[in-house]
Amino acid sequence: MEKFRQQAEKFGAEFKMDEIKEIAETDNGWQVIGYQGEYKSRAVIIATGSIYRKLGVKGEAELTGKGVSYCATCDGAFFRDRVVAVVGGGDNALEEALFLTKFAQKVYLVHRRDKLRGVKILQERVFANPKIEIIWNAFVTEIVGQERLEKIRLLDRQTQKESEIPLDGLFISIGMDPNTAFVQGFLELNEYGEIKVNSQMETSRRGIFAAGDVTNVCPKQVATAVGSGVAAALAVEEFLSHLE
């Protein structure tokens, strides 16, 4: 990240450490209002990203990065021949479970309902994979470990029976929340709270662009986020050239 910053500064970028609470329209552009100051601009690119939803259970924060992960494609290879679990039942959770079978010896899929929510083709692949065992109607109540993840505790929502599963890795895949609270009611968002953009990364307001995980068009991967950032920067350059 430091190299990225140095390169940006080399070409004239100025960095401000602040949290933005509002964007307001002015006569000749936009005023970006933060807790530490206000910044005037002819155009704005929003690239605030998104955050993984947390289970909110004991041990989660302490063991994140110590066996607990939110990205199988990022960390799956570290669990070769190990026992892992995925929490979730949507498309991404099923894809993560299938991906992990390339490395792990055993993959548990923990889902709080009695039916998966992912698309049919993914469900069929999960059901057919001998490495995957589905645990239905179960909540994770605690993530346990000293220096590293050791096990998870589960509660069956039907029987109220508690159980434990020894694990080497836990992948939490229950969705992501975009960081768009400061533009709610200001920009057009989709049902997931992501900023709606067109192919030029333009939002519903002229002169405001968005890129990366905060948008509705970007798969949640670093490479695609970087690509959309480039697209937004080029679009801003074109936009500003027509104002001169």
- Catalytic residue, chosen from 18, 27, 75, 177, is 75
From 172, 201, 228, the end of a domain falls on: 172
Q: Are residues 164 and 63 part of one domain? A: yes
Q: What are phi and psi of 149, to 5 degrees?
A: -55, 135
- Catalytic residue, chosen from 18, 71, 91, 156, is 71
Q: Which of 74, 106, 79, 80 has its CA nearest to residue 92?
A: 74
Q: How far apart are the first and last CA of the chain?
A: 33
Q: Are residues 110 and 208 part of one domain? A: no
Contact status, residue 55 vs residue 141, Cβ threshold 8 Å: no
Q: Are residues 63 and 19 part of one domain? A: no
| Rg, C-alpha atoms of the chain | 21
pTM of the model: 0.75
Interhelix angle 91-100/120-128, nearest 10 degrees = 30
- Determine whether 218 is an active site residue: no
How many helices and strands, by DSSP H and E, does the chain display? 6, 15
Count of residues making up the chain = 244
Q: Which amino acid is at 239?
A: F
Residue 46: which CATH number? 3.50.50.60
Q: Are residues 21 and 110 part of one domain? A: no
pLDDT tens, per residue, the chain with 244 residues: 899 899 999 999 999 999 999 999 999 999 999 999 999 999 999 999 999 999 999 999 999 999 999 999 999 999 999 999 999 999 999 999 999 999 999 999 999 999 999 999 999 999 999 999 999 999 999 999 999 999 999 999 999 999 999 999 999 999 989 999 999 999 999 999 999 999 999 999 999 999 999 999 866 778 888 999 999 999 999 999 998 6
CA 11 vs CA 4, 5, 14, 47, 144: distances in Å: 11, 10, 9, 19, 48
Q: Could you give the count of Cα atoms lying within 13 Å of 141 in the half-sphere of its Cβ? A: 13
Q: Are residues 90 and 149 part of one domain? A: yes
Q: Which residue has the tokens 């080497």?
A: 168
Q: Are residues 206 and 158 part of one domain? A: no
**What is the span of the domain harbouring residue 146?**
54-172
d(C-alpha 94, C-alpha 90), whole Å: 6
Q: Are residues 153 and 58 part of one domain? A: yes
Q: Are residues 47 and 92 part of one domain? A: no
Residue 218's contacts (CB-CB under 8 Å, 6 or more residues apart) are 211, 212, 224, 225, 228
pLDDT in tens, 102-128: 999 999 999 999 999 999 999 999 999
Q: Which residues of 128-138 are buried (b: 16+ CB within 10 A; e: fewer)?
A: eeebbebbbeb
- Determine whether 177 is an active site residue: no
From 172, 192, 217, the end of a domain falls on: 172
Q: Are residues 164 and 62 part of one domain? A: yes
Total structural domains within the chain: 2
Q: Are residues 204 and 218 part of one domain? A: yes
Strand partners, 152: 143, 165
Q: Are residues 90 and 194 part of one domain? A: no
- The reported pLDDT for the residue numbered 218 is 67
Q: What DSSP character marks residue 189?
A: B
- Determine whether 74 is an active site residue: yes
Q: Are residues 191 and 113 part of one domain? A: no
Q: Which amino acid is at 137?
A: N
- The reported pLDDT for the residue numbered 100 is 99
